[in-house]
Every structure is written in C-alpha cells, then in structure tokens.
C-alpha cells in the first residue's frame, strides 16, 4: 500500500527534469511550480507525471519537498500519445487550426490508454475524499477515468491552452469522448471567458450535459465552469529585477549592443503559435519603410527549443532563421546587426536581465492560452518604463489592457506600432506601465491557485 495524500496534482510532465551529467533532479522554472510548491508542502501533496524521458520512471521520490510519482511512457507511447495526439492533433486544433491537425486512430488509442494510466496512478495515491487537480490538454480523459475509479474524489481540471470555438472542436473525431472525459471533473477552469463559453457550447451540443445556471449538469452532478486566468510569481520577477546581480548582467548585456537608442525583445518557446515569423516580417517592413528610425533599434530574439521532433516545429525554426538571416543581410552593416537571435534556454537571471534592458517587448502570438512572457516583462519593469506590444489573440490581452494591442497578421499595423513604440514619450509609457504593473502585482499566481483551490474545496 502506497502512502496516500489528500491532495494530488496530475500533469503530463513532472515539475522536475533530470540532469544526467550531474546525476540529479532539477526543479523546472515557472510560476505554476512556484505556486504549487507551498500548497503541496502544506498538504503533503503528491505530483503525478512523466519524467520527459521515454522508458524512464523511477519509483516515487521527494525533491524540493515535493512528493513525485513518475508515470512510465514507452518510446512508442511517447510518439503516439505525446508527439502524435497531444501535439499533432490537439495542439493545432485548439490553437484555431493555424496548422492542420492530423487525425489518426493509432494516436487516439494510446491517448486513451495513457490517460487511464495517469488516472490509475492518481487513484492509488489519493486518500479517501481527497482533491485531485488535473492539468492541461494532454490529460482531458483523466477526470472521467478517475471518477469511475474513485467516485469519492473531488476533481478539478485546468486547461492552460484555449478551448476552441465549437465549429472547430466539432472536427475532432473523438469529440464526444473528450467532452465526457472533461465532464468527469467537479470544476473545469479555463484561461479566458471565451474558452469557458466555447466549452459550454461544445458540451451542450455534443454531450448529455445540460445548463445549470452558468454551470452544467451532467449525470446528476453539477459541473462548475470557472474563469481563472493563470499568472506569474510577480514578486519574484520584481525582486530579481532589483537585484545587484541582474543590474550587473543587464549593464553587461547593454554594452554588447551597438549604441542604438532602443532594444526590442522577443522571448518565446519556438512554437508556430507565437507569431515569431510575423514579428520578423514586421521588422523587415519597419526597416524598409523607416530606415532611419529602424536603424536606431535592435531586436533581441530569444527562442527556447521545443518539440523539435515534429516537422511543423522544424519548419518554423527554418522559417524564423531564414528571416533573421534575410533582415541582417539586407539591413546590417559592419558594427550593426538588426536582429540578434539566440536559440536556447536562458537561466532565470539572464532572462530577467533581458527584460530589464528591453525598451519594447514584442509578444505577437496568433493564438495563445495566456502568454506569461507578457506578464513577466511587466513585473520586471521596476522603473515603470518600457512598452509592451501585445497580440489581441493572447489570453493576457483581456487583462493587460494598457498594452499596445495589435493583430499580428496585420503586418503594416505591426510595423507602424513598432515605429510609434520607439518614439513613445516616456510619460505615456510610464502611465501605461504603472497600470499594467498594478494588474500583474495584484493578480499573481498565488491568487490564481487560491481561487482554483477554493472552488474545489467549497
Ligand atoms: P508557453 O506556455 O506556450 O510556452 P508562456 O509565455 O505562457 O508560453 O510561458 C513560457 C515560459 O517559458 C515563460 O515562463 C518564459 O519565461 C519561459 N521562456 C521562454 N523563452 C525562454 C528562454 N529563451 N529562456 C528561458 N525561459 C524562456
Ligand atoms: C505549454 C503547455 C504545457 C506544456 C508546455 C511545454 O505551456 O500548455 O502543457 O508543458 O507548453 O511543452 P512540452 O510539450 O515541452 O511539455
């Protein structure tokens, strides 16, 4: 009999990764982990997930006060479940089909089986009447499997990515099963009000769920629908940005650039949803149309490698790198490189130093559940300066209203926003940034996790 716990978190990846060279585990960076660590510690909670490495699932262990239970995935399962159904079917479909989703029965079956395995692992460790909190699109069937096995449990689910409009969701050949999977939860939470409404419409159309006020009734139970936009550990970004170490790094970073007036910054996982290519094309337009103003800027583009095994990601990387080469070839000269591009994961202090030196932050996704980078930039601007240019298609846009909101597909508008951004008077930038900072400080990830857990415990 395993040790049980009243509080279990289930996500595809565990919040740690294995550093094989050092032979030790490292806690993954990010607000979700920072928010959950104190909650797990307080409740002696357990986190269930995959190590990120196929055929590698050591017995349960404790790291950074977190009790971790690895779930095994074979190489074949990783290919069919993770690369296939999760990232070649669901990811593009849920991001408004900006790449064509692939539908294969040979991916769907492993998705079901692995979801069942995650649910079983949770069911074994969850104490009677405990709370299970399931995360993201990889595990949409877990609420139902877990409920079948453990009807005493209280089950929450949080979707980190958008839930698509019903017209798109309808294409999914297994739409009924996915809805039944999700409806196994007591509380279903989403990043935006739009996603709540999209899910509600899909459930009313393609499942036996019926309206119950703003919520749903399903199999005699109430299923609560919640809007809960995720956030960041704002205080951590703020105090790091104020630290001596980051001030030194930021000063060194600025010295590396030619003496331009303005540094523009992009920070993204290299994903086709992030609109890095549109951003670069707008930079090209900016240099073509306004050579004098553009030559006073440099774009620092930081891209973290992601899902490199998938062709769409390899193609996107090629596209981005070709555009960087093209802009630098056409508009660069000795001593001046218009785009400085780095394809790697940065350390936390390096990242905050980059936010600190950036006069303009460019966040231009075509579709994004939230976009934490936008909030991280705001939290790091401790002098109330800097301008955030933000896509209206990021979940963050509904909260960060004082950003310069753009449609990234409108390259002329984006190029014009760039020209204006670099000329914005400091007073206007400060007014906008103060309002943005107040929002990000107030609605931090701790408030988000409290809101989600209160809904589960009441
Ligand atoms: P997504 O969850 O789709 O990747 P978000 O913007 O919500 O998008 O979160 C991305 C996270 O990855 C942020 O916390 C950001 O700080 C981090 N990140 C992105 N690019 C880099 C990079 N080059 N180095 C380190 N961290 C990065
Ligand atoms: C997004 C998803 C997460 C996922 C992360 C990294 O943020 O919402 O569920 O973990 O991307 O992607 P990966 O495929 O490397 O886990």
Please state, rounded to an integer, the average pLDDT across all residues of the chain. Answer: 96
Q: What is the pLDDT of residue 2?
A: 65
Contacts of 238 (CB under 8 A, 6+ apart): 379, 380, 382, 441
Spatial CA neighbour of 435 closest among 404, 392, 391? 404
**CA–CA separation, 202 vs 400, rounded Å?**
28
Q: Of all atoms in ligand 2, which is nearest to the CA of residue 306?
A: 15
Determine the distance separating the centroid of ligand 1 and the alpha carbon of 209, expressed in angstroms: 36
With 0-12 CB in 10 A as exposed, 13-18 as middle and 19+ as buried, what is 380?
A: buried
**Mutual angle of helices 234-242 and 372-380, in 10-degree steps:** 40
Q: What is the pLDDT of residue 38?
A: 83
State the ligand closest to the CA atom of 272.
1
Examine the pLDDT at 1 and tell me if it is beyond 60: no
Sequence-ordered alpha helix ranges (H) in 150-262: 166-169, 175-182, 193-206, 234-242, 244-256
| Rounded average pLDDT over 169-193 | 98
Q: What is the pLDDT of residue 260?
A: 79
Per residue in 46-64, pLDDT (tens digit) is: 999 999 999 999 999 999 8
Examine the pLDDT at 272 and tell me if it is beyond 70: yes
Sequence-ordered alpha helix ranges (H) in 50-104: 75-77, 91-94
CB 191 within 8 A of CB 457: no
Examine the pLDDT at 20 and tell me if it is beyond 90: no
**CA–CA separation, 387 vs 379, rounded Å?**
12
Determine the distance separating the centroid of ligand 1 and the alpha carbon of 198, expressed in angstroms: 26
With 0-12 CB in 10 A as exposed, 13-18 as middle and 19+ as buried, what is 426?
A: exposed
Q: Which two tokens stand for residue 413?
A: 């508008």
Examine the pLDDT at 447 and tell me if it is beyond 70: yes
Determine the distance separating the centroid of ligand 1 and the alpha carbon of 25, expressed in angstroms: 20
Determine the distance separating the centroid of ligand 1 and the alpha carbon of 451, expressed in angstroms: 23
290 lines ligand 2 (CB under 6 A): no
Beta bridge partners of 7: 131
Examine the pLDDT at 377 and tell me if it is beyond 90: yes
Q: Of all atoms in ligand 1, which is nearest to the CA of residue 274?
A: 3
Examine the pLDDT at 351 and tell me if it is beyond 80: yes
Which domains, ranges and CATH numbers included, belong to the chain?
5-230+446-457 (3.40.50.2000), 234-442 (3.40.50.2000)
306 lines ligand 2 (CB under 6 A): yes
DSSP class of residue 266?
Answer: E
Q: What is the pLDDT of residue 127?
A: 97
**CA–CA separation, 71 vs 142, rounded Å?**
13
Q: Which two tokens stand for residue 389?
A: 């240019």
Per residue in 30-48, pLDDT (tens digit) is: 778 888 888 888 889 999 9
CB 121 within 8 A of CB 145: no
Helix and strand counts by DSSP (H, E) for the chain: 18, 18
With 0-12 CB in 10 A as exposed, 13-18 as middle and 19+ as buried, what is 235?
A: middle
147 lines ligand 2 (CB under 6 A): no
136 lines ligand 2 (CB under 6 A): yes
Determine the distance separating the centroid of ligand 2 and the alpha carbon of 307, expressed in angstroms: 9
**CA–CA separation, 370 vs 303, rounded Å?**
18
With 0-12 CB in 10 A as exposed, 13-18 as middle and 19+ as buried, what is 18?
A: middle
What secondary structure does DSSP assign to 316-383, as a single string?
HHHHHHHHHHHHHHHH-BTTB-SEEEEESPPPHHHHHHHHHH-SEEEE--SSBS--HHHHHHHHH-TT
DSSP class of residue 260?
Answer: -
DSSP class of residue 394?
Answer: B
| Rounded average pLDDT over 196-209 | 98
186 lines ligand 2 (CB under 6 A): no
Determine the distance separating the centroid of ligand 2 and the alpha carbon of 195, expressed in angstroms: 18
Examine the pLDDT at 116 and tell me if it is beyond 60: yes
Q: Which residue matches tokens 């549109």? A: 278
pTM for the complete prediction? 0.98
**CA–CA separation, 220 vs 209, rounded Å?**
9
| Rounded average pLDDT over 229-252 | 97
In this structure, is the dihedral angle defined by the CA atoms of residues 369, 388, 401 and 156, taken in order, positive or negative?
Answer: positive
Determine the distance separating the centroid of ligand 2 and the alpha carbon of 91, expressed in angstroms: 10
- The C-alpha angle 188, 373, 270, rounded to 5 degrees, equals 95
Q: Of all atoms in ligand 1, which is nearest to the CA of residue 370?
A: 7
Spatial CA neighbour of 300 closest among 249, 340, 331? 340
Determine the distance separating the centroid of ligand 2 and the alpha carbon of 414, expressed in angstroms: 27
CB 440 within 8 A of CB 232: yes
Q: What is the pLDDT of residue 81?
A: 98
Mutate to test the pocket of ligand 2, among 54, 81, 142, 269 (most ligand atoms within 8 A of CB): 269
Contacts of 428 (CB under 8 A, 6+ apart): none
């Amino acid at each position: 009999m395993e040790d049980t716990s009243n509080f279990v978190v289930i996500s595809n990846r565990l919040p740690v990764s294995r550093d094989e060279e050092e032979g030790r585990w490292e806690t993954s960076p990010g607000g979700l982990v920072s928010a959950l660590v104190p909650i797990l510690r307080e409740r002696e909670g357990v986190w269930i997930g995959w190590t990120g490495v196929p055929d590698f699932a050591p017995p349960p262990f404790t790291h950074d006060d977190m009790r971790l239970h690895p779930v095994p995935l074979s190489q074949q399962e990783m290919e069919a479940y993770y690369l296939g159904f999760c990232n070649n079917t669901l990811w593009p479909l849920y991001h408004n089909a900006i790449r064509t989703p692939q539908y294969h029965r040979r991916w769907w079956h492993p998705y079901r089986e692995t979801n069942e395995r995650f649910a079983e692992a949770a069911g074994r460790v969850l104490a009677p009447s405990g709370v299970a909190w399931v995360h993201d699109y990889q595990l949409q069937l877990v609420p139902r499997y877990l409920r079948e096995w453990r009807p005493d449990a209280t089950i929450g689910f949080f979707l980190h990515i958008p839930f698509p409009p019903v017209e798109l969701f309808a294409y999914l050949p297994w739409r009924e099963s996915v809805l039944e999977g999700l409806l196994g939860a007591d509380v279903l939470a989403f990043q935006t009000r739009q996603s709540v409404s999209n899910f509600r419409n899909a459930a009313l159309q393609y499942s036996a769920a019926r309206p119950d006020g703003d919520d749903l009734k399903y199999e005699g139970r109430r299923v609560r629908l919640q809007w809960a936009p995720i956030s960041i550990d704002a205080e951590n970004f703020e105090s790091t940005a104020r630290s001596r170490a980051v001030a030194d790094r930021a000063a060194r970073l600025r010295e590396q650039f030619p003496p331009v007036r303005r540094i523009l910054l992009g920070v993204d996982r290299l994903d086709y949803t992030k609109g890095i290519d549109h951003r670069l094309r707008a930079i090209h337009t900016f240099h073509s149309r306004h050579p004098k103003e553009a030559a006073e800027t440099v774009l620092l583009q930081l891209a973290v490698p992601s899902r490199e095994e998938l062709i769409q990601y390899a193609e996107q990387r090629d596209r981005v790198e070709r555009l960087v080469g093209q802009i630098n070839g056409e508009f660069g000269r000795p001593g001046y490189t218009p785009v400085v591009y780095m394809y790697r994961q940065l350390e936390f202090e390096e990242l905050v130093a980059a936010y600190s030196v950036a006069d303009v932050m460019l966040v231009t996704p075509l579709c994004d559940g939230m976009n934490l980078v936008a909030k991280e930039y705001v939290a790091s601007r401790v002098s109330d300066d800097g301008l955030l240019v933000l896509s209206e298609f990021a979940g963050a846009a509904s909260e960060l209203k004082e950003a310069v909101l753009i449609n990234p597909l409108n390259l002329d508008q984006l190029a014009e926003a760039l020209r204006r951004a670099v000329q914005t008077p400091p007073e206007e930038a400060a007014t906008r940034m103060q309002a943005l900072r107040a929002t990000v400080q107030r609605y931090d990830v701790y408030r988000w996790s409290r809101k989600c857990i209160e809904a589960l415990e009441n």
